[in-house]
Amino acid sequence: MRYFLSAVTIFLLILSRPVMADIILMDDFQDGKSDGWQALGKGDVRLTEYKKNISLYLSQSVMVVTMFSTKGYDKVAVALSFAAKSLEEGEYCIAEVSGDKGQSWHEINKVGDGQDDAISLHMGSVSSEDLNDKAKVYIRVRITGNKNNDICWLDNVRVTGRKIRAGADKPHAFPAEALRNGTAYDRPVDMWAFAPVHAAKASPFEGKITFDGGRVEGFEALKDSYGYGRGKAGRMPSFAVDFVSSGSDLIPVRRGLILSRNPQWDVILEPGKIWRETGETGFSRAAIPFALQEKNANCTHNGVMTFLYDEKGITSRVAVQISSETCLYFKFDLWGYGMAIYSPAFVADSAGVKEAYAREKAARLPVKPIHSLAQDYPGVNPDNFGSAAEVNPDDMTAYGLLVDGTHYVGGCETRYGPYPYCDVLDLPSYSTAKSLFAGLALMRMEKLYPGVGQEKIADYIPACKKSGNWSDVTFQNALNMTTGNYTTDKYMADEGGQKMIRFFDAVSHKDKIKAACGAFKRKSKPGKKWVYHTSDTYILGAAMQNYLAEKGDLYDDILKNPLWVELGLSPTLNTTRRTPDARAQPFAGYGLTYHRDDLVRLAAFLNADNSLAATFFDKVEFDKAMQRSGAAQGMAAYGKAVKYQNGFWASNFQKILGCKSPIWIPFMSGFGGITVALLPNEMIYYYFSDNDDFAWEKALMEAEKIKNFCQ
């Protein structure tokens, strides 16, 4: 059987990759047996074959049930497929799973009228904490027909999970003796070892931490597309940064991206915790969340370090561990000990640092677990957000839904348990920066300097003028990816080609702008053909910077100072990737770093019906980006149903939602598997992943149950 997809669905609904976990149960019936499935009700149950594929046939109103165990496993996910025939309105093939002996059921898959061509195989999947570590889990599959020719075919039943490590369900602090002696750390530990367990008041902390980087004992590359692990990837960068404590919070004075001398990594330090474990005397504990970010790129690996300290500045060894990332091509675990010196000293404006962090925390949206949606909005299935059918769970960093001012969150998993500091987990923007940096910056400049969008690139970029292909290309053309300069208009072919690789690999602004301006020849008139090039956005950023000249810095004065400060976003967003030279050119098209709260509040600001955004941005261009204008929805980017305008994508979900008129929903997209959707009714759905999964149809349809999207 084949699975047929429309053009827009191909773009937005890529089937999930096989979950990198253990197989608990798999039944594709190819052995010609249906052992373990018990039939109940009225109808026929038998195995049938179509083009050498065997499926379980169900008719009329019959149900089949099977039972299995997930004992010893967490992150359990259940997937299966249906084909159907002769279903009428109100008749369905339904599959559900229960981990509480049938008291409650999670829907795995549901196929109805209009999906019953007897050929197409429709996959569904669900993952829920309710299914973890259970002696008995039940799957029931039923058809709600009323005639013998109402038929469902069941196939490809697959249950996966991750083996629970001994003691993983009992958080424990990192052993104090191990920190003192630097012993017994031969494998990664559960990430909760880096967080307070039985916390008592710690000694205050104020002074400089000097961390001596270098190689740690443990490094294991799990995916290494370009051979980075054979180099110096396992070496930690050094840093020397002042910290102050406020209650149990440990706050780095310097926030955002810190450039290092390490050949591969720069570092981001985030607020952590200080505490004393019950029964421990003399020393307190400190934990610092951090991220390593690849130089000249946006690949981000999150970790935590912890150590013992006393008021005199004596410290233990520093335990360091990285067990998660948002990076398509390089995944690794890093663990071991480093050395640090704590120098107690007065920190200038320590009171201001404490007050600023208190404001930062107070500005965050109220947070609830994603599964609270089921209680807050009865009838809504939380499992369809961050669904395993759309995004591989092993490659999910974070996801969430904003509804009525509440941020429902999921994800934050690592390969060794939940990340203990989710509020300050660092998320790379990748190409969502084309929306939130390049797009907003030009719309802001259009507000300040009307007509700037029609300025010519060649007038502000000498390297582009020299190439001869940019004299009639405007700033707006570059933002819209309609420069007319390309090799092929085949979807994303130029972006993945050698010319673009030379641009990405270039380090200095001189080399980047030369590679960007000279990469592609003129093929069409500007404004007529959409072809995606990150290099075009870099050129735009450089042109806007040159336009500003003495007026200010493109990032700081156009976005950070007027808008990020106004919204009270975290200092992590105060920096952006730049070239490491005197020019310090912002990348514009990638290179921001968010906290999940930053991203959601910024998206909510843009998506609000009574948005104040018009006070910051040119209203005409902003309304186009947000699909609030009667003008065209943008340039066709992927078929007729996916368009691109002012740095934002948009797709028409009329058919999927069953609306009477077109419903264009703007969204942002980032390399590897990042989506931020600005849904109707001021709702936001987002996820950060790194397995090239870009699907959110299930989430969209589930969100529509909360508030009707059709106008």
Confidence of residue 8 (pLDDT cuts 50, 70, 90): very low
In a domain, residue 419? The reply is: no
pLDDT of residue 436: 98
> Residues of the chain with pLDDT > 70: what percent?
96
Residue 575 lies in a domain: no
Out of 15-19, 159-163, 234-238, 630-634, which region has the weakest mean confidence (pLDDT)? 15-19
Confidence at residue 166, expressed as pLDDT on a 0 to 100 scale: 54
Task: Please write the tens of the pLDDT for every residue from 44-98.
Answer: 999 999 988 999 999 999 999 999 999 989 889 999 999 999 999 999 999 999 9
pLDDT at 168: 46
Report the Cα 314 to chain-centroid distance in Å: 39
Same domain, 250 and 108: no
Rounded Cα distance, 321 and 419, in Å: 11
Q: What pLDDT shows up at residue 612?
A: 80
Lowest mean pLDDT among 5-19, 24-38, 120-134, 614-628: 5-19
Q: Is the pLDDT of residue 568 over 70?
A: yes
Task: Answer yes or no: is pLDDT of 2 > 60.
Answer: no
Provide the pLDDT confidence category of residue 420 given band limits of 50, 70 and 90: very high
Is residue 236 located within the same domain as residue 125? Answer: no
Report whether 9 contacts 697 (CB < 8 A): yes
Residues 349 and 251 in one domain: yes
Is the pLDDT at 120 greater than 90? The verdict is no
Taking residues 431-436, what's their average pLDDT? Answer: 98
- Residue 216 CA to residue 359 CA, distance in Å, equals 36
Average pLDDT over residues 562-583: 97
Beta strands in 235-329 (DSSP E): 235-236, 239-246, 249-252, 257-258, 265-269, 272-277, 284-294, 300-309, 318-326
Rounded to an integer, the average pLDDT of 583-596 is 98
| Of residues 277, 274, 197, 265, the one with CA closest to residue 243 | 274
In which band, very low, low, confident or very high, does the pLDDT at 629 lie, cut at 50, 70 and 90? confident
Note whether residue 516 is domain-resident. no
Average pLDDT of span 304-330:
97
Please say which residue of 163, 190, 215 terminates a domain. 163
Average pLDDT over residues 106-129: 90
188 and 124 fall within a common domain: no
What's the predicted TM-score (pTM) here? 0.84
On whether residue 44 sits in a domain, the answer given is: yes
* Same-domain status, 213 and 349: yes
Q: Which of 330, 356, 382 is the last residue of a domain?
A: 356
CA dist 86 → 50, 57, 124, 570 (Å): 17, 13, 20, 55
Helix pair angle (498-505, 534-548), 10° resolution:
40
Quote the CA–CA distance of 272 and 571 in Å, as a whole number: 15
Q: Are residues 119 and 183 in the same domain?
A: no
On whether both 267 and 327 belong to a single domain, the answer is yes
Lowest-confidence range among 66-70, 354-358, 630-634?
Answer: 630-634
SS3 517: helix
Confirm if 687 and 411 have CB atoms less than 8 A apart.
Answer: yes
- Calculate the average pLDDT of the chain: 93
DSSP-derived 3-state class of residue 66:
strand
Q: Does residue 574 lie within any of the structural domains?
A: no
Same domain membership, residue 225 and residue 185: yes
Quick: pLDDT tens for 223-270: 999 999 988 888 999 999 999 999 999 999 999 999 999 999 999 999
Confidence of residue 567 (pLDDT cuts 50, 70, 90): very high
Residue 649 has pLDDT above 90, yes or no: yes
- Give residue 19's pLDDT band: very low, low, confident or very high (50, 70, 90): very low
Model confidence band, residue 10 (pLDDT cutoffs 50, 70, 90): very low
**Is 32 a domain residue?**
yes
Enter the tokens of residue 349.
Answer: 């404006």
pLDDT at residue 395 tops 90: yes
- Which residue has better confidence, 102 or 324? 324
CATH number of domain containing 123: 2.60.120.260
* pLDDT above 60: residue 502: yes
Does one domain contain both 156 and 255? no
Burial 319-344 (b: 16+ CB within 10 A, else e): bbbbbbbbbbebbbbbbbbbbbebeb
Boundary (domain end) residue, out of 124, 141, 163 = 163
Domain span at residue 43? 7-163
Is 305 within the bounds of a domain? Answer: yes
Give the model confidence (pLDDT) of 539-551 as tens digits: 999 999 999 998 8
Tell me, yes or no, whether 24 lies in a domain: yes
Take residue 594 and report the two structure tokens written for it: 């968010």
**Confidence (pLDDT) at 18:** 36
211 and 349 inside one domain: yes
Phi first, then psi, for residue 631 (nearest 5°) are -75, 180
With bands split at pLDDT 50, 70 and 90, how would you rate the model's confidence at 7? very low
pLDDT at 361 over 60: yes
Residues of the chain above pLDDT 90, percent: 83
Same structural domain, 205 and 330: yes
Tally of structural domains, the chain: 2
Q: Are residues 157 and 181 in the same domain?
A: no
Which value, to the nearest 10 degrees, does the dihedral of the CA atoms of residues 526, 531, 535, 540 take? 40
